Structure formats: C-alpha cells, structure tokens
Amino acid sequence: MTFSIGIIEDDKAEASAIMLSLNENSEQLNENSFKLYELKKSLDLRERLFQELRQDIIENKVQCVMIDYKLDTLKEVLTGIEVVKYLHEEVPEFPVLILTNVPDKGKENDNADPDKVYPKQIFMRPDDPKTREMVYHIERNMERYAKRRAELELKQEQLLARTAGNEDAEDEVYGELLDTERELSKYVPIEMNALDETYDMEEMDKALAALQEYKKLLD
C-alpha cells in the first residue's frame, strides 16, 4: 500500500530535508508521496488550513501529518501545536507527528503524544540510523490507521445497508451502527448519513436503552 504524508513546515529547505529523509528510508514512499501545505501568512490561515486538513482526511488524501512545532515565521497567526490540538480533537486516532529542535519541551505539551515527538535535527539526517527507526515507526502508524479505518468504514457500509428502507431492522443493528460510527469518528470526520438525518442520536440512544430494558423484562 502506498501512503501520503502531509507536511506543515514554514521553512522550505527544512521541508525538503524532511521529505528526503522519509523517501530515503522507506520503500512505501516516493517523491510524490508528500503534500506540502501552503502556509501563506494571512488572517484566515488557521481556518483555511484546518478546513483543508479536514477535507484531505475525509477524502483519504493523507494518512499522516508531520508538523513543525514552532512555525517561527507564522507565530503571530498560527503555531504548530495549535494544528496538533485541532487534529487531536477532530480525529484522535489520526497519526500526527511533531518535529522540533527542542523535543523535551514538545513532549511536555499536553496536546502532544510523547512517542510522536521527533528531534528535527536528527530526522533531517537521512543516513542516521535513528532516522531510519523513526521512519519505520511512522510507516507502522500509517498502516495501523489505514487498516482500522478501512475495517470500520466497511462495517459502517454493511450496517447501513441492513437498515436502509428496513423498518423491521433489529434495534441491536442500530446500536451496533451507532457504536461503529462513534469509533470511526476517531479516524475520520464523519459526514451526516441517512441515520443521522432521520434520528436524533441522543434520543436514539435513550430509545435503544429503553428497548433493551423492556426485552429483559419480557425474558
């Protein structure tokens, strides 16, 4: 399987070095495996970038995003940790990696996963054994993400097919669909589906719980 990695880095030379290290140490990546996000300084940069990231994840255009911790040239309008926080809140299981010249400081941030904070100066040395190890872990993270997302999307599709136009579908099916979509929402922002549009999710939770209690009484 081929993957694509988004790069959020305001220094183009360092962005090129990051992509070189990834390409040199991976058999699943090539020069076309990267998307370097446009970071033109503007008042709407945050909103525009967040929307683009969200859409790229929905469309499965990227399976990982690597972010410069500081984004020095943009500090008046955006910091790297703001992007990390947004992605962790929007899609908690999506692979997000931080590159920084002060890794210990990055690991202390509550929005950062300490295992996914990499020292930039080492990472930009493609021949360093530590770089190869870091790239290996990046690939494994993408593989796990892609596999689990695909499994959940398939299950969602199958459950929706069982409920479509079927007024007699068991409440367990609806409950399983709700659980599947809750889990899937950790991997990809979910658009409204037919079930969401028809029913209020909180009310459906209550109704399903009541039905299950009623069945217990009947048994």
pLDDT > 60? residue 211: no
What is the residue extent of each domain of the chain? 5-146, 148-218
Distances (CA, A) of 108 to 19, 112, 130: 26, 8, 21
Q: Give the mean pLDDT of the chain.
A: 84
pLDDT > 80? residue 217: no
Residue 12, pLDDT score: 92
Q: Which residue has the higher pLDDT, 85 or 73?
A: 85
What is the radius of gyration, based on Cα positions, of the chain?
Answer: 21
In the chain, the amino acid numbered 43 is L
Locate 9 and state its tokens: 């880095």
Under CATH, what is the fold of the domain 5-146?
A: Rossmann fold (3.40.50)
DSSP state of 189: P
In the chain, the amino acid numbered 184 is L
Q: Which residue has the higher pLDDT, 18 or 101?
A: 18
Long-range contacts of 165-168 (CB under 8 A, 24+ apart): none
Share in percent of the chain as helix, strand, coil (round to 5): 60, 10, 35
Do 39 and 50 meet the contact criterion of CB atoms below 8 Å apart? no
Lowest mean pLDDT among 23-37, 40-54, 155-169: 155-169
Do 25 and 132 meet the contact criterion of CB atoms below 8 Å apart? yes
pLDDT > 60? residue 155: yes
